[in-house]
Amino acid sequence: MKKSLAVLLALVMVLGTLAGCSGDNNSSTADQSSAAQESSTANEDSTAEEESAAEESGSTAEGLLDPIENTDGTLQVPRSSYVTYPIEGADGVTLDYWLPAATNIANGAGETQDTAWAAAWQEKTGVTINFTTSVLGSDDESFGLMTTSNELPDIVEWEWTTTYVGGPSQAMADGMLTYLDDYITADGYAADLWQFLQDNPHLDKQVKTDDGHYYCFPFVRGTKYLQCTSGPVVRTDLFEAAGVDVNSLETVQDWHDALVAVKGVEGVEYPLICKNWGNLVSLMDSPFEFRANMYVDYETGEVEYGYIQEGYKDFVATLQQWLEEGLIDPDLLSNETTDQTQAMLNGTSALCYAAGGGDLGAYLSAVNADPDAYVEGISFQAINFAVMNEGDTPHYGGTSWDYACTSKASAVITSECEVPEIAAQVLNYSYSKDGHIVMNYGADAVVDADGTAHYSDATMDYAANGFSSLATSMANAGRANMSGAFAQDPQYIFEYYTEDVQKDALYTWNDNQDSQTSLIPPVTLTSEESAAYTAAYSNVNTYVESSYGQWFALASNVEDDWDNYVTTLESMGVNDMVAAYQAALDRYNAR
């Protein structure tokens, strides 16, 4: 197995950057961005069926709980307590658990092992867990070293659908994971995860292989408001100074005319700024009907490659016009986060692509901390993604899947785990009723009479608790503002976003689009498909980057270069890349 893994990892290193949905292991949501006593009565309203003691099989769930229909885009949260904790027979057991490092932990508690949620998890399950993580910022390399070590850990969190070459079936063959079909059952060691998947049947389809095997304990975003947490943000006061009502901005032409007007406001240099090219694409791709890299055409259902579409050409042509008019920061390709932050705070720019927590939240915090340092009346607001024609619906703006298929955060039990039934029960805890609260909000969660959980005062008062920010304090209490093998609680982000402007942003970005229709679902590539994709990807990606660099610098005109650009990409195998994903999508649709 080790020898095959060594070959495999050469491809893993290449594919490690291909995640298409927003989100990473430093933040559970698209923005880098779940309660005063631990509720000993959290499960007192459980049915007798739920409270049954665990038998040898791991639980005694007698059947499905009464179904609950959800129609508002919010998942049914974990609500069963089939498996009894602490785990019987787990005395003296230690599990080795590997996961990518999280910035909010590194900047707060320090190590995963030192967080309050890690301690609570071990106390609740009765199992000692030895956490090890990647080197911060080098997940792929650390994953490679871990997999080629002399002994695999018992549990690994990673992204298994496309980042692992060959997908979960190949990972099974390599020994990186074992199938969980015997555990995720109504009376198995992961019965609470089973119940959660039955409550949300579309997830049940997503977390299986093409041939129907359960393979992971998934990271799940519990509501659409966790699936798009970044979008267009404006300096409202600057638009008002230009005579523009930001609530009237709908079409690309509206944006253009408004930016022209704002450029005339004193102090504004370049009205539109982004941190990088990827953010600029995310800001404006929807009206031109393409996505970065691979996506699904929402009308045909077929896989397309965004950077070869006519819409992409039109997008670049529009950028070139706006650059010539001085509407876009010409240094955008070399910007850092601080460049955008300073421009939006100082008023040299007025429109950007921002994360609701890490960006918009930072702007608001800076102004609140020292209002005298900024112009009187400074204000920010999220606006809708632009469309091409009045009345259009955005189909390519933001969003991700409930099963967070591009976060390196879904846990598997490896073939070298000697106590897989114990490991399954440990991981199952996060999908139980009690575990859902603890893993989201912390062991000191405050739980209302109706079961709604909140962060404790100690977590929210982060400075008094010794933390530098609310994000790092939350990451110590629970996992909700990061990622991992659990289901995010739909309400956590409304406590993380302390300002009404941030909460309103979530509604603005999510309630006015239908963009999940253009996302590639959690497909799995075979080894052959991964090889075909990888063979072409490096050259294709390099050429795409060099081309948009030339166009953005106005060194050449996209209209003049387009035919040669497309021909070159086709010669590099871009159609093979599309075919690989189309085959995987066809299998997914047939599940």
The reported pLDDT for the residue numbered 28 is 39
% of the chain with per-residue pLDDT over 90? 75
Confidence band for 72, pLDDT divided at 50, 70 and 90: low
Q: Are 380 and 363 in contact (CB under 8 A)?
A: yes
pLDDT value, residue 62: 56
1-12 pLDDT, tens digit per residue, is 333 343 343 333
pLDDT of residue 101: 95
Name the 3-class secondary structure at 46. Answer: coil
125-147 average pLDDT score: 93
- Structure confidence by residue, pLDDT tens digits, 530-567: 889 989 999 999 999 999 999 999 999 999 999 999 99
Q: What is residue 411's DSSP assignment?
A: E
Residue 63 has pLDDT above 70, yes or no: no
- pLDDT attached to residue 38: 29
CATH code that applies to domain 2-225+403-490: 3.40.190.10
Alpha carbon distances (Å) from 120 to 7, 126, 403, 463, 584: 39, 10, 25, 22, 39
Q: What's residue 405's pLDDT?
A: 80
Residue pair 355/230 in contact (Cβ under 8 Å)? The answer is yes
Dihedrals phi, psi of 74, to nearest 5 degrees: -105, 135
In this prediction, residues 343-363 reach a mean pLDDT of 95
Taking the C-alpha atoms of residue 82 and residue 186, their distance in angstroms, rounded to an integer, is 9
Quick one: pLDDT at residue 128?
A: 98
Mean pLDDT of 154-182: 93
pLDDT for position 400: 81
d(CA 391, CA 387) in angstroms, rounded, equals: 8
Q: What is the mean pLDDT of residues 367-391?
A: 97
Q: What is the 3-state secondary structure (H, E, C) of 74-117?
A: ECCCCCCCCCCCCCCCCCCCEEEEEECCCHHHHCCCCCHHHCHH
- pLDDT band (50, 70, 90) for residue 289: very high
The predicted structure's pLDDT at residue 1: 38
**Residue-level pLDDT at 163:** 87
C-beta separation of 528 from 70 below 8 A: no
What's residue 15's pLDDT? Answer: 36
Per-residue pLDDT, averaged over 185-202, amounts to 95
Q: Are 234 and 343 a contacting pair, CB within 8 Å?
A: no
- Tell whether the model's pLDDT for residue 356 goes beyond 90: yes
**pLDDT classification of 61: cutoffs 50, 70, 90:** low
Taking CA atoms, 391 is separated from 84, 172, 539, in Å, by 53, 48, 39
Coil, strand or helix: which one is 518?
helix
**What is the structure's pLDDT at 225?**
87
For residues 52-59, average pLDDT: 40
Distance CA 48, CA 184 (A): 21
Q: What is the pLDDT of residue 92?
A: 94
Beta bridge partners of 24: 27
pLDDT at 23 over 70: no
Q: What is the mean pLDDT of residues 572-584?
A: 96
Count of CB atoms situated within 10 Å of the CB of 448? 10
User: For residue range 227-257, what is the model confidence (pLDDT) as tens digits?
Assistant: 889 999 999 999 999 999 999 999 999 999 9
- Whole-number Å distance between alpha carbons of 43 and 453: 13
- Higher pLDDT: 69 or 304? It is 304
pLDDT confidence tier of residue 65, bands split at 50, 70 and 90 = confident
pLDDT score at 175: 92
d(CA 436, CA 480): 10
Paired with 155 in beta bridges are: 97, 413
Instruction: List beta partners, residue 110.
Output: none
pLDDT of residue 224: 82
152: three-class secondary structure by DSSP? coil
Query: Is pLDDT larger for residue 405 or for residue 127?
Result: 127
- pLDDT for res 37: 28
Mean pLDDT of 427-440: 98
Question: Mean per-residue pLDDT for 188-202?
Answer: 95
Tell me phi and psi for residue 554, to 5 degrees: 60, 30
